[in-house]
Amino acid sequence: MDNEKLRALERLVRTLPDEEAKRVVKLFEEGKETGYPTVDRPWEYFYRNIEKKDTFLNTTPYQGLVIGNKDHPEESAIGYFYADISFGELLKNIDVVANSLEEYGVKKGSFVTLCSTTNPEVIYTFYALSKIGAVANVIAPFYTPEEFMARVQECESKNIIMVDKFMPKFKDVLNKEKQKNIIVLPMMNSSLLRFVSKQYRADGKTNEVGWNRFIRDGAHRDDALVDPYESEKPQAMVYSSGSTGPSKGILLSVDSFQKLINAYGNSGFDTSRLQKVYQNIPPWHSTGLSLGINFPLSFGVKVYTDPRFDTTVFVKNVMKFKPEYILTNTTMYQGFTYEENLRRMKNKSLEFLKYPVEGGEPLTQKDISNIEGVFRSHGSTSHLLNGYGQCECGATVTTDITSHKFSNDASGIPLPDITTIGIFDDNHCELKYGRRGNIYVKTEIGMIEYFKKPKETEEFFYIDSNGDRWSQTGDIGYICKDGSLVVLGRKSDFSEIDGKRFYNFDVERAILQLTTVKLCEVQTHPNDNNKLVAHIVWENDIKNLLKKNPEKVYDYLLEVQDVVMKKMGFKEAVPVSFCIRDSFPSAYSGKRDIKFIKNNVDGIIELELSKQKIKVK
């Protein structure tokens, strides 16, 4: 990677004043740290002793799966509601689905829409599309029927595979599309529970086709030919959260998947066969496709999947399946600390757990300490593994690694060989360690484009003086001297009160220093942009105390104001309005529903800085 360092140096010195440029070049020539992360690349230190293998480079997901598992047909690949599917069965079922897809007119480059939770048939279909060179258009079920169809029409998808649980919502609009095939997939099709669970039956008078009929229709065909690897060939499309405007299709290539898992294999994670992962990230998130399905299966790691986001179910499944890996939403891990689950885990071991990976909402220091305390008390030495990613950047930008514990504020380091991170100012000039600015990402696994949106695609990328393409993430953060990235928040997350502009996430971080606060969201008032509102979820013990002594809320809110004033240093950033909540709702994207939180301020508490009283509106 010396060439990468030299290229970074050449780009950097073009933007620096003469004296600083001379200083940096001198340090570089002496082999010393320059102070600029893209030149120093401190994250490479952590990968220096790892033997590298390039098993999955220049392959498609289907080819990689075959390479990794063709010699292990009897080993177990998927566990799903009492079903146990071997790698031999997995590969056979992929071939069967590929034949049926071709029978239904799917060709290389065709888009096939998937709207389903993760189940075995979704896994078969993802790899079958890869086999024939088609593209998985994966859409979440949370859109309105009209929004859903707009995404289907945009990519001219003629085949829609939808799990039966979602059909009632979309049936009317789907049945109007007479030229499209609507393939209805029973959620429990691969499980014995299919005999007892209520199923939606495909309406034979419409364009609906049951999954099993779909499979039978392709049974007479010869096996589909394997489409060869091509660099940057489209593999899947997922969708942006829509937090900064209308949701956009994010087109990912075969390299987005294969270079990612190859890099994970060279990062120090134990990827040996016969391990297990428990995951419930849905496939409409790129993390669900990349890390929840393709990563473990390609290495011969068994995938247990369950779509239910329920902490009790989660803990039960972990204790039942004993996975070495867990990949799930952050809040699921809090289930380990709940009293009912602690009783269920009494005298049971978590020694099997090596890699508990979490993502989504941030955890407080208290949460992390409590969860890892449960791990320790039940025999696991693991710490929670965090990371940072965007679908546009191929799911993973940085990740915690197994050989080093970074600070709880950090989100790990870039994976080896594929990603570089840098912090830049608004003029695209790189900043030194510890300086906050715009997070830019140069990666080999990023998206091809925002689908059919050239203007938005051009705006997302920055082309530097070397001709290298950087993703402008829209996030603010800084890089520590060990190369780890601290993500502070969205650049658009600011308020302006009495002419003073500041980031809301800075106020939130100040408030979250308090052990009394579990979650916090700071936004301007929906009807008054000059008024700052702090939406707060108390820790459970404080919540219970305030139920018995509601008048004490005054003392805790004064403490919030005091800590913000000390941290921020100016009164404009101190909230004078508060909404006390039991929890924060999630948006369709799975992220916190900021719009709902901001626009719902019932029971707002006004606490003026200059007066020792509380007024409730």
Q: Give all strands (DSSP E) within 344-493, no chain letters.
A: 355-359, 387-388, 398-399, 413-414, 419-424, 437-443, 449-450, 461-463, 469-479, 485-490
Q: Nearest Cα to 259, choosing from 411, 459, 416, 405?
A: 416
Name the segment(s) of the chain with CATH classification 3.30.300.30: 493-616
Q: Are 179 and 201 in contact (CB under 8 A)?
A: no
Which amino acid is located at 476 in the chain?
I
Name the segment(s) of the chain with CATH classification 3.40.50.12780: 61-387
Query: Which residues are CB-contacts of 527 (< 8 A; sequence separation ≥ 6)?
Result: none
Q: Are 397 and 441 in contact (CB under 8 A)?
A: yes
3-state secondary structure of 489: strand
3-state secondary structure of 85: strand
User: Residue 194, exposed/middle/buried by CB under 10 A (0-12, 13-18, 19+)?
Assistant: middle
State the pLDDT at residue 203: 82
pLDDT, one tens digit per residue, over 189-233 is: 999 888 888 878 888 888 999 999 999 999 999 999 999 999 999
To 10 degrees, the CA torsion angle through 273, 278, 284, 285? Answer: -80
Separation between Cα atoms, residue 522 and residue 509, nearest integer Å: 10
% of the chain at pLDDT higher than 70: 96
CATH topology assigned to domain 61-387: Rossmann fold (3.40.50)
Q: Nearest Cα to 382, choosing from 470, 546, 499, 270?
A: 270
Identify which has the larger pLDDT, 567 or 617.
567
pLDDT, one tens digit per residue, over 506-562 is: 999 999 999 999 889 999 999 999 999 999 999 989 999 999 999 999 899 999 999
Which tokens belong to 509?
A: 């971080």
**DSSP helix, strand, coil percent of the chain (3-state; round to 5):** 35, 25, 40
Q: Compute φ and ψ for 51, nearest 5 degrees.
A: -75, 125
Q: What is the CATH number of domain 493-616?
A: 3.30.300.30
pLDDT at residue 614 greater than cutoff 60: no
pLDDT at residue 498 greater than cutoff 60: yes
State the pLDDT at residue 309: 87
Which tokens belong to 271?
A: 């990827």
pLDDT at residue 245 greater than cutoff 70: no
Separation between Cα atoms, residue 117 and residue 98, nearest integer Å: 20
Q: Give all strands (DSSP E) within 425-567, no chain letters.
A: 437-443, 449-450, 461-463, 469-479, 485-490, 494-497, 500-503, 517-525, 528-538
Instruction: Indicate the average pLDDT of the chain.
Output: 93
Which amino acid is located at 167 in the chain?
M
Q: What angle do CA 407, 411, 413 make, to 5 degrees?
A: 95
The stretch 423-449 carries a mean pLDDT of 98
pLDDT at residue 242 greater than cutoff 70: no
292 sits in which H/E element: none
Q: Name residue, tokens 């669970």.
A: 197
Separation between Cα atoms, residue 219 and residue 589, nearest integer Å: 37
The stretch 421-433 carries a mean pLDDT of 98
Separation between Cα atoms, residue 439 and residue 421, nearest integer Å: 7
Between 150-159, 358-367, 403-412, 531-540, the lowest mean confidence (pLDDT) is in: 358-367
Q: Nearest Cα to 591, choosing from 337, 240, 313, 147?
A: 240
3-state secondary structure of 276: strand
pLDDT, one tens digit per residue, over 500-521 is: 999 999 999 999 999 999 889 9
Which tokens belong to 119?
A: 């189940």
* Reduced 3-state DSSP string for 164-213: HHHHHHHHHHHHCCCCCEEEEECCCCCCHHHHCCCCCCCCCCCCEEEHHH
Q: Nearest Cα to 426, choosing from 9, 60, 15?
A: 15
Separation between Cα atoms, residue 333 and residue 373, nearest integer Å: 12
Which amino acid is located at 387 in the chain?
G
86 sits in which H/E element: strand 83-86
The stretch 589-605 carries a mean pLDDT of 82
pLDDT, one tens digit per residue, over 39-97 is: 999 999 999 999 999 999 999 999 999 999 999 999 999 999 999 999 999 999 999 99
Q: How many CA atoms lie within 13 A of 226 on its CB side?
A: 14
Helices (H) and strands (E) in the chain, counts: 21, 29
Identify which has the larger pLDDT, 169 or 612.
169
Parallel, antiparallel or unpaired: strands 485-490 and 469-479: antiparallel
Identify which has the larger pLDDT, 404 or 462.
462
Please spell the DSSP secondary structure of 34-81, one letter per residue.
-S-HHHH-GGGGGGTTPPP--TTTT--HHHHHHHHHTT-TTSEEEEET
Give the pLDDT band of residue 611 (cuts 50, 70, 90): very low
Identify which has the larger pLDDT, 334 or 119.
119
The stretch 435-461 carries a mean pLDDT of 97
Q: Are 161 and 113 in contact (CB under 8 A)?
A: yes
Positive or negative torsion for Cα 296, 590, 507, 612: negative
pLDDT at residue 594 greater than cutoff 90: no
